[in-house]
A and B are shown apart, each in its own frame.
Chain A
Amino acid sequence: MKEKMERIVVIMSPKEITRAKTSASASDSGKGGAFVAGKLEKLGQDMLAQIEADSSPTFTTALRSKGNIVYDNGVGFIRLGDKVEERTFINVGQARKFMQTVAIASKCKKFLKEDAHTSIRGLYYQLKFSLGDTLDEELFSEQSESNPLVEDLEVALNVKREDLNLNTDRKGVVAGPMVLKDRFGGDETEIDCTKQGRSGWMIPSDVDNGMEFKSIDADYVLVVEKDAMWQRLNEDKFWRKENCILITPKGQASRGCRRLIRKLASRKLPVIVFTDCDAWGWYIYWAIKTGSMNLAYLGNDIATPEARFVGVTMRDIKDYDFLSQLTINAKEVDIKRAEEMLSYEWISCHKDWVEELKTVLKTKKKIEQDALQGPRLSFVGDYLREKIEKKKFLA
């Protein structure tokens, strides 16, 4: 994670690119298997038409390299720029990759038709076979070959891999007043997130296809970095008392978790994030808020610029005396990250954050969220209640 933020180069796109414009061109995510299968089919038919017209089959995809990743001030998240790249078959350098991409597309269409899911590793194994007895070559011999091509397809078709029935690992847990309908494997199950006991509902890889909100009766969404803290708040029934949806990404948020947060935010629920006051915690928050370089191509689907940061903050030390005893020394990585963050234009424009980071640099201290259990275990609930009520967010 250390390098991740470092690589984010500040490229401010023109302000006139508004959310409306990007969202119009973005995401055909979540429109269902038949729709996506249709898109795949169209991709193949276009190629056939090109061959029919005596041309090399070709498709276009957005460039995903560093040079085409921008932080878009207008929409408030990191996304791909406008550079596109053409992939064509009749070219010595591209023939293999092109053939491989078509093989992946064809396989994904089959998954969609069969309504079966697998991982990108599973996909790789489905396509790891010899190209024929006369050729000493496999269709894929390394998963590192197929992974970027899956991304090519996602970008070219304007969908997420989850829409292609490719799962990622599940991570993240939810509790709170929210009921979902999950159509899966031929069954339809109702999931009531108030009735998930001590373990909560685990966020699946795909929260779009076959997943539907039945009812949401919450006032806001609270995202807490650590699982242990989530368990504390769950035991205290914080979500019931506060009428909120309580989520922990368990560290860095997975694609599915970020997507769920985005979807809840789109239903006008405020999103409040609670992490450690250190490099890792900040990164988790900013990745939820602005997205990240690696997933820039999904920016529109997974970034939640509306997210607010409730703590832990350096200012808390002033407001809660006991905290001054519970700080720990910041590490080199925390200091370095704080310095970097100050140099990002999209962070340095938030004056609270500038002050916060400067305090970290001055005092060389950090605080973990667990410290709020100092006075008594359930104190953390009081802390959150007070700060959220008084809207004490880092602006």
Chain B
Amino acid sequence: MAQTSTEKIFTEFREHSVAEFFKKNQQMLGFSGKTRSLTTIVHEYVTNSLDACEEGGILPEIDIEIAEIDRDRYKVIAEDNGPGIPEKHIGKALGQMLAGTKFHRYAQQRGQQGIGASGCTMYSQITTGKPVKVISRYDTRRITCEVSIDLKSNSPLVLNTVKDEGEFGHGLTVEGEFADVKYDKSSFGVYEYVRRTALANPHLQITLHDPEGQAHAFPRSSDAIPPKPMIVQPHPMGISTNDLIDFAHRERECRRVSSFLQERFARFSAAKADEVKALCPDVDFDKKPSELQWVEAEAIIKAIHSEGVKWIAPATDSVKPIGKGQIEKSLTNILAPQFVVVSERAPKIYKGGIPFMVEAALAYGGGAGKKAAGDLMSSEVIRYANRAPLLFDNSGCAITEAVKAIDWKRYKLKNFDEEPLSVFVNISSVYVPYTSAGKQAISNDEEIVQEIKNAIMEAARDLQAYLSGIRRDHDRKERRKAILRYVSQLSHDLPDLAGKGKAGEIEKKLITLIETKYSSQIESEEGEEEAKKENGNGKNGKDEEDEGEE
């Protein structure tokens, strides 16, 4: 990829001061414009909390409080129930740029730079001169301190540390004061960011306390914590010259370029290495990887991409989507639409080497869409990359382009802009091709645009069916199906339990019951489900008595 990634620029600047660099280039990292800066701050904290909770296997609960202190000056408090940060790591986590553990990992994650929370610390420092206040609770400890950054040396300054012993549970609270920021309800604002984050993270419970003192709570709709991201080997077709240099110079184990290529990249067999070697006679494949020169890397990349070399496609299991059921739950939970449909597509590959997956959902009616003038609703497109909402740079994004390219009239939507419709698109990949370092738009790669289009159209076909009035039939069938899918397992277990009866006969009998005697009851069950859920199981979760049973 020829793009100038933040990572590359940072690598070059590391010897000077990353912090100084940041100060002069804040707009690259989302600190441009008052509204956007505030959204970026909240984004960084929320992302960190979500990642920490997932790492720790905790169902995240996040509280964001924003208070207006003065014109364009706000206090932000972000509190989570994550594992907290051990005392000795607090400085590094919040007061040193590029210190994150994620920076050099090749895995699918929301934040991929490790610049987040420290970036906020710095922003606070350069706009208000204040440190951020941190409370970290873990084990039986509570650490309260203030963190700032020494801009010259990019090292953390931790002051006024207070330690308490006791039962404080676990979690992290960060409180900072920021100037040159603004809270508003526009589609670029914090409220919209939080709402969209909740939509893509059904396991998240998040509450926003806005400067007017109003609390907006987005309850959790699923108890399933997303699986931890997988660390994968990059596929040769997916890397740029810059990436190759970067990997090679960090290599500590392999002594030769040829073994490095085979060890560190997927599908790079010995036979492939020979093919590539033959194509670059000027490159010494026995030299140390750390001594690889740019021209040599360029030649290798060129050889990798040459037509004669055929690569086996990468494995696609590194891609972790949100999941059809999960998206359905959260859209239903937060938008309460009349109809919701989610596409179900397999992962695809772009540029021959990078697996990705598109999930598209359409929510229609109810709370879907956004409010327009008066009582009217209009459609909205909500974009995500690896579950992180993309609020800015709307026009340059592959998702926007795909939505525009669809002939919505074919799907019974007369005027796309004026429909009560939310179009939800999430792209999951270890390597999301953003258009710029701000990471707010996905590049217009043709393969990607086409796949997004296909996913949306797949969902749109069901929406069309619904809008055509087929809804009731569809619904009945679905409801019956929801029960029928469990008949086989139940019929298998019942004879074992009862010590008599035959699975086949039980199954037949149950199916008949569901399709005849109970069919009208099943159709009218609406609403009852919710009530059951409420009083079903008193409480979940761990407590003292059950400790250690997990």
Q: Report which A residues bind B (CB closer than 8 A).
A: 1-2, 4, 40-41, 43-45, 47-48, 51-52, 54-57, 63-69, 85, 89-99, 102-103, 105-106, 109-110, 119-121, 131-132, 135, 137, 139, 141-145, 147-148, 151-152, 168-169, 171, 252, 254-255, 280, 287, 292, 294-295, 331, 333
Give the docked Cα–Cα distance between A189 and B129 (Å): 71
Tell me which of A137, A147, A333 has the highest count of chain B C-beta atoms within 10 A of its own C-beta: A147
Q: Which chain A residue shows the least CB distance to B522? A: A92
* Of A1, A41, A85, the contact of B167 (CB 8 Å cutoff): A1
Chain A residues closer than 8 Å to B499, beta-carbon distance? 41, 44-45
**Contact call A294/B497, Cβ cutoff below 8 A:** no
Q: Which chain A residue shows the least CB distance to B506? A: A51
**Contact call B537/A148, Cβ cutoff below 8 A:** yes
- The reply on B224 being an interface residue by CB < 8 A is yes
Question: What 5 A-B pairs are tightest by C-beta distance, nearest first?
Answer: A44-B498, A93-B529, A44-B497, A169-B548, A65-B538
Chain A residues closer than 8 Å to B498, beta-carbon distance? 41, 44-45, 47-48
Chain B residues closer than 8 Å to A120, beta-carbon distance? 549
Give the docked Cα–Cα distance between A55 and B521 (Å): 13
Chain B residues closer than 8 Å to A95, beta-carbon distance? 482-483, 486
Q: Which chain B residue shows the least CB distance to A297? A: B538
Chain A residues closer than 8 Å to B497, beta-carbon distance? 40-41, 43-44, 47, 102, 105-106, 109
Chain B residues closer than 8 Å to A41, beta-carbon distance? 497-499
Given A48-B501, A331-B166, A93 and B532 contact (CB-CB distance below 8 Å): yes
Give the docked Cα–Cα distance between A103 and B490 (Å): 7
Chain A residues closer than 8 Å to B538, beta-carbon distance? 63-66, 68-69, 148
Chain B residues closer than 8 Å to A287, beta-carbon distance? 544
Given A90-B522, A168-B549, A48 and B510 contact (CB-CB distance below 8 Å): no
- The reply on B493 being an interface residue by CB < 8 A is yes
**Contact call B537/A64, Cβ cutoff below 8 A:** yes
Chain A residues closer than 8 Å to B532, beta-carbon distance? 91, 93-94
Q: Report which B residues bind A (CB closer than 8 A).
A: 166-167, 169, 223-224, 479, 482-483, 485-486, 488-490, 493-501, 506, 509-510, 513-514, 517-518, 521-522, 525, 528-530, 532-533, 535-541, 543-550
Give the docked Cα–Cα distance between A160 and B506 (Å): 30
**Contact call B540/A147, Cβ cutoff below 8 A:** yes
Smallest distance from the beta carbon of A178 to chain B beta carbons, Å? Answer: 24
**Contact call B518/A56, Cβ cutoff below 8 A:** yes
* Of A44, A51, A103, A331, the contact of B510 (CB 8 Å cutoff): A51
**Contact call B483/A67, Cβ cutoff below 8 A:** no
Smallest distance from the beta carbon of B70 to chain A beta carbons, Å? Answer: 32
**Contact call B167/A56, Cβ cutoff below 8 A:** no
Given A92-B522, A142-B224, A103 and B549 contact (CB-CB distance below 8 Å): no
Give the docked Cα–Cα distance between A99 and B510 (Å): 12
**Contact call A65/B486, Cβ cutoff below 8 A:** no
Tell me which of B485, B486, B496, B509 has the highest count of chain A C-beta atoms within 10 A of its own C-beta: B486
**Contact call B549/A252, Cβ cutoff below 8 A:** no
Not counting A66-B538, A137-B485, a sample of 20 additional A-B residue pairs whose C-beta atoms are within 8 angstroms of each other reads A44-B499, A47-B494, A51-B510, A64-B539, A85-B535, A91-B483, A91-B522, A93-B528, A93-B532, A95-B482, A99-B486, A102-B493, A106-B494, A106-B496, A131-B485, A143-B550, A168-B548, A169-B549, A171-B548, A294-B543
Give the docked Cα–Cα distance between A95 and B536 (Å): 13
Chain B residues closer than 8 Å to A294, beta-carbon distance? 539, 543-546
Chain A residues closer than 8 Å to B490, beta-carbon distance? 57, 89, 98-99, 102
Give the docked Cα–Cα distance between A103 and B491 (Å): 10
Q: Which chain B residue shows the least CB distance to A90? A: B518
Q: Which chain A residue shows the least CB distance to B526? A: A92
Tell me which of A67, A91, A121, A141 has the highest count of chain B C-beta atoms within 10 A of its own C-beta: A91
Give the docked Cα–Cα distance between A388 and B528 (Å): 57
Chain A residues closer than 8 Å to B525, beta-carbon distance? 91-93
**Contact call B545/A67, Cβ cutoff below 8 A:** no
Smallest distance from the beta carbon of A114 to chain B beta carbons, Å? Answer: 13
Chain A residues closer than 8 Å to B543, beta-carbon distance? 4, 294
**Contact call B483/A90, Cβ cutoff below 8 A:** yes
* Of B485, B528, B541, B545, the contact of A254 (CB 8 Å cutoff): B545
Give the docked Cα–Cα distance between A294 and B489 (Å): 31
Q: Which chain A residue shows the least CB distance to B543? A: A294
* Of B529, B530, B544, the contact of A252 (CB 8 Å cutoff): B544
Give the docked Cα–Cα distance between A349 and B499 (Å): 52
**Contact call B223/A106, Cβ cutoff below 8 A:** no
Given A56-B518, A91-B525, A95-B483, A65 and B546 contact (CB-CB distance below 8 Å): no
**Contact call A131/B547, Cβ cutoff below 8 A:** no
**Contact call A144/B540, Cβ cutoff below 8 A:** yes
**Contact call B535/A63, Cβ cutoff below 8 A:** yes
Instruction: List 19 interface pairs A-B (beta carbons < 8 Å), by A numbering.
Output: A45-B500, A66-B538, A66-B539, A90-B522, A93-B525, A97-B536, A98-B486, A99-B486, A99-B490, A102-B493, A103-B489, A106-B494, A106-B497, A121-B550, A145-B223, A168-B549, A171-B547, A280-B167, A331-B166
